Structure 1
């Protein structure tokens, strides 16, 4: 799995670390937005 993931990232011109960093950033941003939305609708 990791080998294929590395090949995918290489084809996309990115590194695994950068790809994971973007994924984590997007997840945390969505989580924070959800928390803000929940706090304003309470």
Structure 2
């Protein structure tokens, strides 16, 4: 069987970008691969 990873895109701001990244890293991306998670700073 073929398993695909669904990307997760999270839009952040200057104020929230680093905190969001730290949260993801400290929680091992909540079970997702770090390559699945894309942070977009607006």
TM-score by length of 1: 0.35
Higher strand share: 2
**Larger Rg computed on CA atoms:** 1
Higher helix share: 1
TM-score by length of 2: 0.35
